[in-house]
Chains A and B, each alone.
Chain A
Amino acid sequence: GENVEQHPSTLSVQEGDSAVIKCTYSDSASNYFPWYKQELGKGPQLIIDIRSNVGEKKDQRIAVTLNKTAKHFSLHITETQPEDSAVYFCAANSHSGGYQKVTFGTGTKLQVIP
């Protein structure tokens, strides 16, 4: 089955600096890579995603890159703000016959210091 590794487990940055979180996956059949943000006491919420036929996607201060050959993808947050503080999860999804199997990384706790 799929295995997703995520690094770092914790990350502290000064407000305004950039944050980068990296993930690797093992199954070449995975073709969709979402990133979720989980705030304290809440369920994860999708913030950005990328499909396997795309190398990079950007949405305001958030960007995701994908290297299919190396099987790794990264989340980039620029100009970090205190409200970016949360736990971030990457995931790798595979699809077959209408089924979607999702494997999550272990999470990165991001702290943005004002």
Chain B
Amino acid sequence: GAGVSQSPSNKVTEKGKDVELRCDPISGHTALYWYRQRLGQGLEFLIYFQGNSAPDKSGLPSDRFSAERTGESVSTLTIQRTQQEDSAVYLCASWGGYPSHEQYFGPGTRLTVT
């Protein structure tokens, strides 16, 4: 079946503008994660949605970052008043729950803030 998809694949924006990144998880997957990956760096956890429970927002770096998810479907990550240090690849992953532990990643959105 279809994997995790993300859009857009690339986004160039001017400093100070808002951006919205979209993630379509695998159908039926209850959990959805957002990560940030700066050039040549590891995966930095941002936020985690698990079903209808309150999300774990402990990784969001500032109040300019927010994310929403409607039920167990699409999620959007919003960055307000973008800064140059926000430039990175934003990865989304979904998890279908036990007994599997595997996260399935999307291809990412490359964000460049000029």
Chain A contacts to B: CB under 8 angstroms: 6, 32, 34, 36, 41-46, 49, 89, 93, 98-107, 109
Asked whether, in the complex, the Cβ of A41 is within 8 Å of the Cβ of B107, the reply is yes
CA separation between A100 and B95, bound complex, in Å?
9
Interface of B toward A, CB cutoff 8 Å: 4, 31, 33, 35, 40-43, 45, 48, 50, 56, 91, 93, 95, 97-98, 101-103, 105-108
A interface: dominant SS: strand
> Which are the 9 A-B pairs with shortest beta-carbon distances?
A43-B105, A106-B42, A104-B43, A107-B42, A32-B101, A46-B102, A44-B105, A43-B107, A43-B106
Task: Choose one: B45, B56, B91, B102; the contact of A43 (CB below 8 Å).
Answer: B91
Which residues does chain A contribute within 8 Å of B45, judged by CB atoms?
A: 102-104
Chain A positions within 8 Å of B41 at CB level = 106-107
A43 touches B42 (CB 8 A): no
Structural contact, B103 and A102, CB atoms closer than 8 A: yes
Q: Is the CB of B97 within 8 A of A43?
A: no
Inter-chain contacts of A41 with B (CB < 8 A): 107
Cα distance A34–B95 in the bound complex, in angstroms: 13
* New contact pairs (6) apart from A43-B4, A46-B102, CB-CB < 8 Å: A44-B91, A100-B95, A102-B33, A104-B43, A105-B42, A109-B40
Verify A42–B107 contact, CB threshold 8 A.
yes
Q: What is the chain A residue whose CB lies nearest that of B4? A: A43
Bound CA span A93–B95, Å: 13
Out of B43, B95, B98, name the residue touching A44 (CB < 8 Å).
Answer: B43
Q: Closest B-chain residue to A51, C-beta based?
A: B101
Question: Which residues of the partner chain B approach A100 to less than 8 Å between Cβ atoms?
Answer: 31, 95, 101
